[in-house]
Amino acid sequence: MLTPEFHAYFMRLALREAAKAAEAGEVPTGCVIVRKPQTLDQPLAAVKVLARSHNQTELLKDATAHAEMIALTQASAALGDWRLTDTILYVTKEPCPMCAGAIVLARVPLVVWGLSDPKRGGHSVFSILNHPGLNHRPELLTGIEEAACQAVLQDFFRARREAPDLSQTPNS
């Protein structure tokens, strides 16, 4: 069994991606996909990172440009296969229904997230990740680096609420 420290390390990489999203004015969600270690004593530095991404919906003007979707595409390209059967996906916030569906289709065996989304989550609300009618149900590990994942989202939305609405500024 992989240690909590192992999972925290890769969640912190996902948090770095979330920070990039926040800097770009995107909802700060970050995702990292790694190849699952072959042995439990494999050093962190030897674990292959297949994908790193963050939300880019505003940049790309694409509703599907969520961190998980971009990371799934990157990991598939890195492995040369759409089946990501020997991977672990780390994401700072629980995947939405779209991303949860893509994770199931990609056959990711372990999904790790920091902050659950009880209002819109693909698992919490819709049970996509463990739906009995689907042919793949990943193992889930939640609450990893939860406080940091929550803080990045809260800080982002607090700053958005406090920012002056530039659309209301008269033209000069």
Assess contact for 5 and 78: CB atoms under 8 A: no
Q: Is 68 designated active site?
A: yes
The strand pairing partners of 30, in sequence order, are 54
With 0-12 / 13-18 / 19 or more C-beta atoms within 10 angstroms meaning exposed / middle / buried, residue 151 is middle
Distance CA 24, CA 26 (A): 6
Assess contact for 165 and 172: CB atoms under 8 A: no
> SS3 helix, strand, coil % of the chain, rounded to 5?
40, 15, 40
With 0-12 / 13-18 / 19 or more C-beta atoms within 10 angstroms meaning exposed / middle / buried, residue 65 is middle
Place of tokens 């779209």: 98
Active-site position among 17, 26, 68, 145: 68
The catalytic residues are 68
